A = this chain, B = another copy of it.
């Protein structure tokens, strides 16, 4: 199939290609008759505008780069689902890249986006990213940039996050109010802001309710179901007394529940458990697991809207970066209800 360009349409109609271009772009200074004729022959010939050419000329690609750690984590795929939905409605397409939680791979992604001349980048940083990572250059170049959930503190750009401090606080407060006193908190060993915030919420809740902070109850490690099981085994083996566990995310919480069951501890009767993320399984397992909802799809839609709003304003970096903070929702389920 021969590639059809505006020149072919022009020849067909004995007009110039610039008239064709204008007709196709619905330029006001073109007669309705010409427009109609152009559109008809365009359809007849199977013409498809070449976005590559128009991008080169106009300097706009109508493409947004989306850089996330990994798409097989439901949190991220849900957010991307939200972003794509909104961007698509507004005429943008998504160029997708996964950092696989690696800073090096993340920088490759940024480089690819820069070469691809995306109109902007929406990202959530990898676990390895330090400081602003490779995003400093993006901002310096004046390319619109926004973050969701995992935003680098070192860079002052728009973002949409949830209030992780509140999340940590709410989870802990809820456990305290339910009568639990020795609350273990399993956090990540990485120095990531959102993790630190959840920890800070945990600590402040203890403080506010007059409970002592016991370093033995604060565990750091990677997050996984297996790590949750490991923590419980370890705590029990060490003879550390505890009556509740608040974890950084749900799979760890699930591991905690499983291992507690295996050790003959009743949940929530003897030990209360609260996770984080509202993974699908938390409402299906038994006992159902209390957790914090992170409003994933909404987060994606919000960051897309914020981004579009700023794009329209023009001069993306001339305004004070807006930072939207969503309130997490505490879902009290069986694992912490006694």
A residues adjacent to B (C-beta < 8 A): 1, 46, 48-53, 55-56, 61, 63, 66, 70-72, 74, 77-78, 80-81, 84-85, 88, 93-98, 100, 111-112, 114-117, 137, 140-142, 254, 279-281, 284-286, 297
Contact = CB atoms under 8 A, between A and B. Distances in A.
A117 B53 CA distance: 10
B77 A74 contact: yes
Q: How many copies does the complex hold?
A: 2
A84 B96 contact: yes
Contacts of A142: 1
B88 A81 contact: no
A49 to B, nearest CB: 5
A167 B114 CA distance: 45
Contact of A71 (B77, B111, B117, B286): B77
Contacts of A51: 115-117
Contacts of A95: 63, 93-96
Contacts of A280: 74, 279-281
A163 to B, nearest CB: 23
30 contacts: A1-B141, A48-B111, A48-B115, A49-B115, A50-B115, A50-B117, A51-B115, A51-B117, A52-B55, A52-B56, A52-B117, A63-B95, A70-B81, A71-B84, A72-B77, A72-B81, A80-B96, A81-B98, A84-B96, A84-B97, A84-B98, A85-B100, A88-B98, A93-B95, A94-B97, A95-B95, A96-B96, A281-B281, A284-B285, A285-B285
Q: Which 8 A-B pairs have the closest CB atoms?
A: A77-B77, A281-B281, A72-B81, A71-B81, A94-B96, A96-B96, A51-B115, A52-B56
A156 to B, nearest CB: 18
Nearest to A63: B95
A55 B116 CA distance: 10
Nearest to A85: B98
Contacts of A63: 95
Contacts of A284: 254, 281, 284-285
Contacts of A98: 81, 84-85, 88
B93 A116 contact: yes
Nearest to A280: B281
Given A51-B117, A71-B81, 14 more contacts: A51-B115, A72-B81, A72-B297, A74-B74, A84-B96, A85-B100, A93-B112, A94-B95, A94-B97, A280-B280, A280-B281, A281-B284, A284-B285, A285-B286
